[in-house]
């Protein structure tokens, strides 16, 4: 399923893919070469890698971790705040898990989903956090701030 579709009852999807499968890695570019400046958004994220809020995943150095925050249909109607519920997803330690820009696409963009990418730079632990925006904090919904722990391990 592409990002334009809805994921019933799943608000957040977290998946990891090796950087080499997404347009290159430091190893492919040669020793000492920089990683690509952007990564391509995958057509879909596997449902099998969708840990619940508060979960921990382990990825090797060089992996790219994607976070897709998806607003369920039931919150897009009247009676709910305008705008996207979550603030930008951030890493607690950019030396371990660094934000990576998504390459520009010609595809469909949606106000009901936001995808962020992070590259595992070195072994360690970082938390990914996406707090709710102020209007959504006071709204009567089942939405919560998103938090996940990512352990980066050597290859």
- Residue 138: what pLDDT? 85
Whether 3 maps to a domain, the answer reads no
Whether 119 maps to a domain, the answer reads yes
pLDDT tens, residue order, the chain (155 aa): 343 333 322 234 455 554 444 444 343 334 445 667 888 877 776 553 445 578 899 999 999 888 888 888 888 877 889 889 999 999 999 999 999 999 887 666 566 888 889 999 999 999 999 999 999 988 888 888 999 999 999 98
**Domain tally, the chain:** 1
Whether 78 maps to a domain, the answer reads yes
- Residue 119: what pLDDT? 93
- Residue 83: what pLDDT? 87
CB-facing half-sphere around the CA of 84: CA atoms within 13 A? 16
Whether 136 maps to a domain, the answer reads yes
* Structural domain range at position 84: 12-153
| 115: CATH | 2.60.40
Q: Contact, 2 vs 67, CB < 8 A?
A: no
List the end-to-end C-alpha distance of the chain, in Å, as a whole number: 30
Backbone angles phi, psi at 19, to 5 degrees: -55, -35
Whether 73 maps to a domain, the answer reads yes
Whether 35 maps to a domain, the answer reads yes
Whether 20 maps to a domain, the answer reads yes
The CA distance from 110 to 76, in Å, is 12
SS3 22: helix
Backbone angles phi, psi at 14, to 5 degrees: -125, 125
Whether 70 maps to a domain, the answer reads yes
């Amino acid at each position: 399923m592409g990002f334009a579709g809805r994921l019933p009852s799943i608000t957040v999807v977290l998946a990891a893919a090796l950087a080499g499968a997404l347009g290159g890695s430091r190893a492919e570019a040669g020793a000492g070469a920089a990683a690509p400046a952007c990564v391509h958004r995958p057509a879909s994220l596997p449902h099998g890698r969708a840990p619940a809020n508060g979960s921990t995943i382990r990825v090797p150095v060089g992996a790219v971790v994607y976070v897709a925050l998806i607003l369920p249909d039931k919150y897009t109607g009247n009676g709910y705040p305008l705008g996207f519920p979550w603030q930008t997803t951030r890493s607690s330690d950019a030396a371990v898990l660094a934000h990576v820009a998504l390459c520009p696409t010609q595809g469909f963009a949606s106000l009901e989903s936001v995808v962020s990418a992070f590259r595992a730079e070195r072994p360690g632990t970082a938390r990914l956090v996406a707090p709710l925006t102020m209007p959504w904090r006071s709204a009567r919904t089942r939405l919560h701030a998103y938090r996940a722990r990512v352990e980066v391990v050597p290859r």
